[in-house]
Amino acid sequence: MTKPQSASVKVCKIAIPVPLHRLFDYLPPDDVDSSQLKPGIRVSVPFGKSCKTGVLIEICRHSEIPNRRLKAIEKVLDAQPLLSQQDMRLLHWASRYYHHPLGEVMATAFPVALRKGKAAQGQHEKAYCLSEKGELVQPEQLQRAPKQQAMLALFQQSSTPLNAAALSAWQRNWRGTLKALRDKELVTETRLAVIPAPPTPAQPTLKANPQQQQAIDDICAARGEFAVFLLEGVTGSGKTEVYMQVIDQVLQQDLQILVLLPEITLTPQLEQRFRQRFAAPIVSSHSKLTDNERLNAWLQMQQGTASIMLGTRSALFTPLKNPGLIILDEEHDSSFKQQEGFRFSARDVAVVRARNLHIPIVLGTATPSLESLYNVKQKRYRLLHLPKRAGNAIEPKFQLLDIRNKKIQDGLSDLLISEIRKTLEKQEQVLLFLNRRGYAPVQMCHSCGYVSRCRRCDANMVIHYDENRLRCHHCGAEQSLPRQCPACQSGELRSIGLGTERIEKTLAELFAANKVVRLDRDTTQRKGSLENYLQRINRGDADIILGTQMLAKGHHFPNVTLAALLDVDSGLFSTDFHSAEKLAQMIVQVAGRAGRAEKQGKVILQTRQPDHPLLVTLLSKGYQAFARTALEERRLALLPPFSHQALLRVHAMNAEAPQVFLNAVKNVLTAINPGKTLVLGPVPAPMAKRAGQFRFQLLLQSEQRKELHSLLDRLIAEIEQIPESKKVRWSLDVDPVDLY
């Protein structure tokens, strides 16, 4: 039985996570009192053939859609909105600023469990412990089942119940073994309390040096008001200590702290330090946790039962019952910018969030982004500078190693090899950095020149000898490694270029007596394996550490005294104007890994461009000087931050459609453009074909942010009218950081 529809029927505007720039109208559910329909609650609605979880935005009297076509909300999921009005405002702002559909923006504020419509209730996490029987059984009694034997021993050694995360860290396929032990009633299931056990006694705070104290005082003086601090300090300058002492004071006011970090790899380390220090509930949120773990963490911050959250980019929108402070560490790191879908910058949105909440935010880094330095110049951010701590590590010595016309074996020059040997003889560790994984980026036939290209991308397949496969790093396509040239059937296939896997094999030959550890996405894919490697390295159970990006991200390797970047040149010649900044940050960050104790470190950069101004300025005058020069270049070229950009990206299966569409867009733009905004393109994307899709882009640039944004508003309305838009998929990237 349905209610008679009176003239005063209300219409609910729902934000649904689909890439469409509009809200969807629904009738209120017939069994629910309208007082329960508060903006911000989640609702389940029929959408097309399926059901989706959306957020109620507003209730109005009328709909543009004829009433008889309206469907009713199926279910109200929340009694109260889970997000505060301020956070809803922030999401509306982000949707407008990034010109991204509100439904998708709203969805990113919720953990996956809530996006799927789960109730906003904490889930007690499953854990396992020994049964009474299990405590008595000797593992040796399970002779015919070595895996069960090992797991039983693990339980007998552990003083606490083990959860899924702990078991995964122990072994990848633990579920089968666990089931066998539970069937034998040696292990039983328990539930872990949501709130962690009473924390360990807090460690005493260290005595801050004068500069640290100044920073702490400045930040604390801004409590309860909006202020942005750029905390610049090289590795070893004691940034974390500043964070912790400020956090301590915020905790004393019973306020919460949100700490954002670039990658999950850093979270466990910092979490451990925080747990030793604070007698306050700490939760973390990153992609290696299960949906329920992340839901629990989110709810505990929302309800105020946890005081500190450590999380990655997606933790930015975690609701805070009593917000007190936001800390964003490694602010220069480009992983704070989401690179698909809702392409937001967690750093920039975090600043806006702090402003809305009237709380301070601290951006920490050893290598500030040019945008942040510019904001300091504009007096929008306050700079706090921590010099290197006296008595701590000595500045590493840089050496530009000119490898032109030098003998070089798989990317390692003779001079570098002898430096490595010298370091190893002193029982010290070596760190080698190459930002390319796999064995070699190209496989080529020596007799006919055939190259193994990806069928779906404008890219070559990368050789992975370890798995005996060819892989495309852009679409994930793979095939087994051919033994013969597929084109001419000759056996002369060669590996061209370098990857970490190849260097690893060369190092194993050159330094057969030493242990080499390779850290890249291929070797650290498994949960907990990076932590295992890092422990190994710090135990001294590794002599040469070789790896990609992830090496440059803040890990402490106290015994490394030689760091080398095997190929800096590939970073020098990119079309993207950000690349110089990224390379400089990378060099400084890698250098930060070397020589941290009393031993002076050495940093070697292999290059065929020893006179390149970027390298010369950076090495002779330091990062600050480099940044000044780079900013001046941006100013002269009117590039960001001296102008503002938005990139319209388009892709389609059809090769012509993207360009045809963008030409039409350009025509529209010339008609509505007030004149000062530059329209550059359309041009093919740097990788014109990727995963079978043809890609084009159009860049808009303006000195006035307002002008750019009002143009984008009008453009989006017009785009939907362009007939060609139906044949392509398009998206906007506001403040793009890389043009891929």
488 in a known ligand binding site: yes
Q: Does 69 bind DNA (CB under 7 A)?
A: yes
Rounded to a whole number of angstroms, the minimum distance from the CB of residue 95 to DNA is: 16
Each as own residue / partner, the long-range contacts of residues 665-674 (CB below 8 Å, 24 or more positions apart, any chain) are: 665/698, 665/715, 665/719, 665/722, 666/698, 668/715, 668/718, 668/719, 668/722, 669/700, 669/711, 669/715, 672/711, 672/714, 672/715, 672/718, 673/711, 674/707, 674/711
Cα–Cα distance for residue pair 566/432, rounded to 1 Å:
7
CB nearer to DNA: give 180 or 716. Answer: 716
| Shortest Å distance, C-beta 112 to DNA | 13
**Nearest Cα to Cα of residue 82 among 40, 37, 34, 38:** 40
Binding-site member from 2, 7, 35, 49 for DNA (CB under 7 A): 49
- Was 220 annotated as part of a binding site? no
Q: Which of 465, 727, 738, 740 binds DNA (CB under 7 A)?
A: 727
In the complex with DNA, which residue's Cβ is closer, 48 or 675? 48
Contact 515, 539 (CB under 8 A): no
The yes or no reply on residue 717 touching DNA (CB under 7 A) is no
273 binds DNA (CB under 7 A): no
Tell whether residue 12 is among the known ligand binding residues: no
Binding of DNA by 19 (CB under 7 A): yes
Q: Give the binding range for DNA (CB under 7 A) out of 20-28, 270-278, 504-512, 665-673.
A: 20-28
Distance of CA 652 to the CA centre of its chain: 27
Q: Does 70 bind DNA (CB under 7 A)?
A: yes
Give the residue with the Cβ less far from DNA, 395 or 720. 720
Is residue 65 close enough to count as binding DNA by CB under 7 A? yes
Does residue 129 have a known ligand-binding role? no
Q: Confirm if 592 and 366 have CB atoms less than 8 A apart.
A: yes
User: 381 to 440, contacts with DNA by CB under 7 A?
Assistant: none
> Sign of torsion, CA 631 632 633 638?
positive
Find the Cα–Cα–Cα–Cα dihedral 526, 531, 533, 535, rounded to 10°: -160
Structural contact between residues 724 and 666, judged by C-beta atoms closer than 8 angstroms: no
The 3-class secondary structure across 245-285, one letter per residue, is HHHHHHHHCCCEEEEECCCHHHHHHHHHHHHHHCCCCEEEE
Our finding on whether 48 is near DNA (CB under 7 A) is yes
Of the pair 248, 291, the CB lying nearest DNA is at 291
Which residue bears the tokens 């705070």? 205
H-state helical runs in 411-483: 414-425
Q: In the bound complex, what is the minimum distance in angstroms from residue 452's beta carbon to DNA?
A: 22
| Contact region with DNA (CB under 7 A), list: 249-257, 258-266, 400-408, 723-731 | 723-731
Nearest alpha carbon to residue 226 among 355, 86, 380: 355
According to the binding rule CB under 7 A, does residue 63 interact with DNA?
yes
Exactly one of 2, 8, 35, 50 binds DNA (CB under 7 A); that residue is 50
Residue whose C-alpha is closest to residue 393's, from 596, 562, 602, 238: 596
Q: Is 61 near DNA (CB under 7 A)?
A: no
Q: Residue 71, interface with DNA (CB under 7 A)?
A: yes
Judged by CB under 7 A, does residue 60 bind DNA? no
Q: How far is the CB of 329 from DNA (least distance, A)?
A: 32
| Binding status of residue 47 toward DNA by CB under 7 A | yes
Which residues are within 8 A (CB) of 477 and not within 5 positions of it... i.e. 6 or more apart? 454, 455, 456, 457, 461, 471
The stretch near DNA (CB under 7 A) out of 43-51, 195-203, 437-445, 498-506 is 43-51
Q: How many residues bind DNA (CB under 7 A)?
A: 23
Ligand-binding site membership of 454 (annotated):
yes
Distance of closest approach, residue 717 Cβ to DNA, in angstroms = 14
From the list 143-151, 226-234, 301-309, 722-730, the region that binds DNA by CB under 7 A is: 722-730
Contacts 24+ apart (CB under 8 A), 403-410: 403/606, 403/607, 403/608, 404/608, 404/610, 409/506, 409/510, 410/498, 410/502, 410/503, 410/506
In the set 9, 18, 220, 664, which binds DNA (CB under 7 A)? Answer: 18
Of residues 472, 552, 478, the one with CA closest to residue 519: 552
Q: Which residues contact 80 (CB under 8 A, 6 or more apart)?
A: 38, 41
From 308-316, 510-518, 623-631, 721-729, span contacting DNA (CB under 7 A):
721-729
Q: In the stretch 638-677, what mask flags binding to DNA with x, by CB under 7 A?
A: ---------------xx-----------------------
The strand pairing partners of 569, in sequence order, are: none
Q: Which residues are documented as binding site for Zn(2+)?
A: 445, 448, 454, 457, 472, 475, 485, 488
- Binding positions for DNA, rule: CB under 7 A: 18-20, 22, 24-26, 45-50, 63, 65, 69-71, 653-654, 726-727, 729
Q: Which residues are documented as binding site?
A: 445, 448, 454, 457, 472, 475, 485, 488
